Amino acid sequence: MWGNPQGVAITEISLKKMLFSFKDRRKGLQILQNSPWNMRGNLINFILWTERESVFEVDHDIMEFWIQVHGLSLDYMHKEAALQIGNMLGVLAEAKDRRVEGVLRRYFLRIRMEINITKQLPTGFWLAREFLPHMWVHFKYERLPDCYCFNCGIIGHEKKSCTNPIAIASWDSTKPRYSAGLGVYQGRYNTSMAVGSSRQEGWKAKEVKEEARGWQSGERESDRKQDTEESMIRAK
C-alpha cells in the first residue's frame, strides 16, 4: 500500500502494537501525512515515538482524520467555522480551503481533526440558525473502513460482541446512529489554511519540525469503550 519502499523495518512489540522504522525519513513522514491507513479492513494508527518516552508510553488513543463536513451553508464554509467545529470536536490540525485558484471545488468543508478513538465517533451536529429551522450537519471520515461498531460507534470491536447501548440517531429517533458508510474515499486538494497545530510532531505537509528526528512509529488498534455526545453550534 506504500509502493514497496526500501529500508523499512517492522518489529512486533506486543498484541496489536508494532514498531515501523523507515530509513528514508521523507517516506516515513509522507506515510504519516497520508494516514490513516488500513490493512484488510483493519485501521492502523501511526504515532511518532519521541525521544523522551518509552515505546510502551506511546499513546494510540488519538488518531488524526480528514473529516468532510457536509450540509453547511455557504456562509459557514470558512476558517472561523472550521475553528469552531474543531473546538467542538477536539483539536483541529488543519483545514483545506474550499477554493482552489479562486474556483469553488467542493460543496463541503474539509478539516483534519484529532479524534479520540476510544469514544464514539462524532457523526455531526445541529446547526441553529436565526429565523430558520435547525439544520443537521453530518461528517464523513476519509479513509475510514467499516471497522467501527455499528451499535455504539467505537472503533475496535464489532456489533455482535458489543455490550454498549445502541446509539440512536440525533436526526431521527427511529434510526440507529451508526451504519456502514461513515467513511469515504479521500478528496485531496493542494490549497490549505493553517488554523491550528498538530499533536503529532513532525508530519506537517509543508513543514517538518526538527523535534521529531527520532520518528519511529508504532501501531495499535484501540478497544476501550467510552461514551460521547454530539454537539450543537449556534449561528450568530
Each residue's pLDDT, cut to its tens digit, for the chain (236 residues) gives: 666 667 888 888 888 888 888 888 888 888 887 788 887 777 888 888 888 888 888 888 889 999 999 999 888 888 788 878 888 887 777 777 666 677 777 888 888 888 999 999 999 999 988 899 999 999 999 999 888 999 999 998 899 999 999 999 998 999 999 999 999 876 544 444 444 444 443 333 333 333 333 333 333 333 333 333 344 454 33
The per-residue pLDDT for 210 is 35
CA atoms within 13 A on the CB side of 154: 22
| Rounded Cα gap, residues 13 and 217, in angstroms | 11
| Rounded Cα gap, residues 41 and 34, in angstroms | 17
pTM: 0.71
| Rounded Cα gap, residues 99 and 111, in angstroms | 14
The per-residue pLDDT for 1 is 61
Buried b (16+ CB within 10 A) or exposed e, 34-62: bbbbbeeeebbbbbbbbeeeeeeebebbb
The per-residue pLDDT for 187 is 53
Cα separation of the two ends of the chain: 45
The per-residue pLDDT for 141 is 95
The per-residue pLDDT for 55 is 85
| Rounded Cα gap, residues 65 and 34, in angstroms | 9
Q: φ and ψ at 178, to 5 degrees?
A: -115, 140
Which cell numbers in the block locate residue 118?
476510544
